[in-house]
Amino acid sequence: MKRTGPMQQEKDRDHKRLKIRQSRSIHVQSDSLENGAIDVEKFLSARSFEIRAFQDAMKRSKDSSSQRAFQSLPRCLRRRAASHNVRRIPKALRQRALYEMSLQSSTTKAIEPSRLRFKRYVRRLQKRISAAGKSKQIVSAGTLQTKHTTEDSRIPSLPLVRLVKGQFAQRQLRKIWLPTHLWTSKRAHMVNKWGYAIPQRPTAKSYRPTHRAAFTEEAIAFDMSYEPIFAITAPLPVLIEKYKSIFGARWALYSSCSRICSGLIKNVETGRTICPCLTQWNKPSEAFVQRLPITEKNNVAQVVLRVHPAAFVECWDYLSGIAVKDSRIAMHDWRMQLGSIDVLGPRANQVLHDVLQTPIPSTESNVWTSIKKLSHNQLPIDCSLGFHVNASQTATSATSQNSLSQKPMLEYWDAKTLPSFQVFDVTEVNGIGARNPPAITPLMVARRREWNGLTIILPWTSIMYFWRKLMFRKGVRFGGLDNLHQIAFEKQIPFFPHDYPETEAGIKAQAVSREDAFSYWQRRPPAKRVNFLKLENGMKELGDPFACDWSVLDKNYPTLTPVRFHLVHVIITCSTRGSIHDLARVYKLPTKESLEEWKKHSLHYRNKLHEVEKFPASPEESNLVGYISTGNFNLRQGKPSGIGCVIDQFSGSSKRGYCLIRNCGTGVFRLAQWKRF
């Protein structure tokens, strides 16, 4: 369907104004005077005509400007059948909708009971029962292929999926459904990735609303339960000794404070990055320690990690390779027992306080209620807090009034002790890991400074309950993978694995995106798709036009082979007019004099495509130094920007500089600035 142009929109607007003006016009009749005398009969008929015209005008004006109940809803709540089905309308407007339907002449009638319809239902029910009796009960759906396991369950085997019972059990044998799957699958495009069914993006338009929710208005929520949560348990000195070189020196400092640590997991032997991770130190309970199959149980501590599913197996194999050699270390897989929700936005703290309004009285819950009026930017850096919430009770007004009268208890995070979180005591006794959600739900809330929001970790079975409360709050949106990638891009954070070409997960992600881009290009007619062998200015595309082809740089820099392991992340912004797209090529300036030429050119010309001959000399193939993995118009900055990688030899010790960029499939170069992360 074609878009209506401005002329057509103006005509429609004028027609609507004319319709409203005509509906509000009142017809009158001439005066009933003859030779200065009043004819009573004509006078009464004229006045009765005017009264009827006045009543008719009032009715027409009301009908022309009024809205039905389903028409007054915002776009996100409108449903196709809402005009005749009140169940498609929110409960607050159902009585009004029923009244409006009763005024219509063509109201729908209730379906009368039918004996034939009842027989068909019984026949279908009998077939379903007989099929359920014949089907075999599935005990195990297999395990993930890992390198290390132990017989004493110190390093357990990893189940492939979560076995469930019920109507949709067969659909979950090859992939894991998130706790919010039945809710998000009706409202978002789903994608099967990394063994999970994950929402990719909402079905409604969400690019600009995502920016507003994450940076200027309320908040946006993401179900991050697809990111695996697991733990390493051992005596505190053993953990620091074995894993300090992997997580970094800063990671060990977090063992004496209630704060969450964001960092990278690196392979010490090869020096390569495996993936980003979120770590939290925890002191397990005595009952939990006594059940551990480790040889030393004094001063036991626990490191809880949340990593990306694309690198989970690689990360588990590397960390378990250290644990399998030491009987004092145990590992725990909590992928389908604990989940997490990320709430990002300027009002993330207030939104979570509205949802978690019934905490069980404790020191931590008092701290939680005392910080209700603060924004997440006013909270201590990377602070974390664990408490219990009564999910079976509703919020009371007394609780909210008490929280408003308290002063923020920020001194809680000054304590230099190892924190303890009940949510990580994963046992059937306290309900974590059970089939049904516990009434008293333990959880952990942590501030994510780099993501401008809060993260909540809670039992897998309790996520749907709190997700519904979160979605019912006014102004809160939900997002998928594309929306999370957009927020990372606008905050200029590399998005894993898309912006990490030096990792194994990044290589696999690039291969998948390359296949998608190539199939999209191949489906287009030959006259409509880009000819990469014949570009503007007589150029042809370097390497693979559907991916960041690092093999081209391997030829230019043979001493750095493979170049993929000698990269640095940079932020690139245009110094002139133009746009930055994915897979754009980054070139270094041939000489210092060429920089002055490009600066002078950017001041005198507007860089239009028909002025290619006025550009300075184009760089050669040997000047290629990197690629842009994510490029688009940055709504937060109000100009195009990109996130990419360049070779460390090009950047050297400097933190910023100038470069030239060229979008894939074009022959136009533009001056840009790069800055290290």
The string of pLDDT tens digits covering residues 478-491 is: 999 999 999 999 99
502 or 2, higher pLDDT: 502
Residue 393 has pLDDT above 70, yes or no: no
pLDDT tens by residue, 273-302: 999 999 999 999 888 888 888 888 888 999
Binned at pLDDT 50, 70 and 90, residue 110 comes out as low
Q: In whole numbers, what is the pLDDT of the chain averaged over residues?
A: 84
In this prediction, residue 312 has a pLDDT band, given cuts at 50, 70 and 90, of very high
Cα atoms in the Cβ-side hemisphere of radius 13 Å centred on 172: 20
Distances in Å between the Cα of 465 and the Cα atoms of 222, 390, 469 are 15, 12, 7
CATH 3.30.70.1400 domain range(s) in the chain: 229-336
**Percent of the chain residues past pLDDT 90, beyond the cut:** 38
User: Which secondary-structure segment (H or E) carries 436?
Assistant: none
pLDDT over 90 at 358, yes or no: no
Q: Could you give the percent of the chain with pLDDT greater than 70?
A: 86
Nearest to 564 by CA among 500, 518, 514: 500
Q: Identify which has the larger pLDDT, 438 or 219.
A: 219
**363, 370 Cβ separation under 8 angstroms:** no
| DSSP reduced 3-state for 440 | strand
- DSSP conformation letters of 99-164: HHHHHSSSPPPPPPP-HHHHHHHHHHHHHHHHHHHHSPPP----B---S---TTSSSPPPBSS---
Cis peptide before 497 (omega within 30 of 0): yes
The first and second tokens of residue 49, run together, are: 């005509």
Q: Is the pLDDT of residue 609 over 60?
A: no
Residue 105: is its pLDDT beyond 70? no
Distances 226 to 42, 157, 460 between C-alpha atoms, Å: 82, 19, 11
pLDDT tens for 13-35 read: 676 667 666 665 666 666 656 66
Q: Would you state the pLDDT for residue 27?
A: 62
Contact in structure between 335 and 309 (CB atoms under 8 Å): no
- Out of 133-142, 318-327, 366-375, 503-512, pick the least confident: 133-142
Identify the band that residue 54 occupies on the pLDDT scale cut at 50, 70 and 90. confident
Higher-confidence position of 140 and 398: 140
* Amino acid making up residue 290: Q
Judged against a pLDDT cut of 70, whether residue 432 lies above it is answered with no
Decide: 38 and 47 in contact? Cβ < 8 Å.
no
Q: What are 579's two structure tokens?
A: 């746009």
What's the fold here for domain 504-676?
A: Elongation Factor Tu (Ef-tu); domain 3 (2.40.30)
Q: Give the single-character DSSP code of 624.
A: E
Residue among 665, 663, 667, 671 nearest 600 (CA): 671
DSSP class of residue 559 equals: G
CA dist 48 and 30 (Å) reads 13
Residue with tokens 């990044």: 506
In whole angstroms, what separates CA 283 from the centre of its chain?
Answer: 31
Higher pLDDT, 107 or 554: 554
Asked whether residue 397 carries a pLDDT value surpassing 50, the answer given is no
Q: Which residues pair with residue 441 across a beta bridge?
A: 389
Q: What is the mean pLDDT of residues 524-543?
A: 87
Hey, what are 505's tokens? Answer: 């997960």
Q: How much is the pLDDT for 58?
A: 77
Task: Write down the pLDDT at residue 560.
Answer: 78
**For residue 361, with 0-12 CB atoms within 10 Å meaning exposed, 13-18 middle and 19 or more buried, which class applies?**
exposed
Question: Cβ distance 209 to 487 under 8 Å?
Answer: no
Helical segments of 492-539, H only: 504-523
- Every domain range in the chain assigned CATH 3.30.1360.120: 179-225+339-490
First to last CA, the chain: 44
402's CB contacts (< 8 A; 6+ apart) are: 369
| Model pLDDT, residue 396 | 41
Calpha distance 497→328 (Å, rounded): 33
Domain with CATH 2.40.30.110 in the chain: 504-676
CB distance 280 to 260 below 8 Å:
yes
Q: Are 585 and 642 contacting, i.e. CB atoms less than 8 angstroms apart?
A: no
Which of 93-102, 376-385, 510-519, 605-614 shows the lowest mean pLDDT across its residues?
605-614
Among 84, 92, 23, 90, residue whose Cα is nearest residue 57: 23
Convert the pLDDT of each residue in 230-246 to its tens digit.
999 999 999 999 999 99
Cα distance between residue 80 and residue 384, in whole Å: 44
Residue 303 is encoded by which pair of tokens?
Answer: 């490191």
| Low-confidence winner among 398-402, 524-528, 537-541 (lowest mean pLDDT) | 398-402
**Does 404 have pLDDT greater than 50?**
no
Cβ distance 285 to 425 under 8 Å?
A: yes
pLDDT higher than 60, residue 229: yes
d(CA 240, CA 404): 41
302 token code pair: 């626990």
Instruction: Report the distance separating Cα 178 and Cα 345, nearest Å.
Output: 23
Q: In what order do the strands lie in the sheet with 453-459?
A: 384-390, 440-448, 453-459, 338-344, 219-223, 476-478
CA–CA separation, 66 vs 20, rounded Å?
Answer: 11
**CB-based burial of residue 37 (10 Å sphere; 0-12 exposed, 13-18 middle, 19+ buried)?**
exposed
Taking alpha carbons only, the member of 545, 543, 563 closest to residue 553 is: 563
CATH code of the region 179-225+339-490:
3.30.1360.120
Give the three-state DSSP class for 452.
coil
- Residue 102 contacts by C-beta under 8 Å, 6 or more apart in sequence? none
CATH superfamily label, 229-336: Aminomethyltransferase beta-barrel domains (3.30.70.1400)
Neighbours of 144 (CB within 10 A): 15
Q: Which residues pair with 568 in a beta bridge?
A: 646
Q: Alpha-carbon distance 453 to 345, whole Å?
A: 6
Q: What is the pLDDT of residue 23?
A: 61
Which comes out higher in pLDDT, residue 116 or 642? 642
Give the separation between CA 217 and CA 335, rounded to whole angstroms: 33
Which distant-in-sequence residues (6+ apart) come within 8 Å of 398 by Cβ?
none
Distance CA 677, CA 668 (A): 27
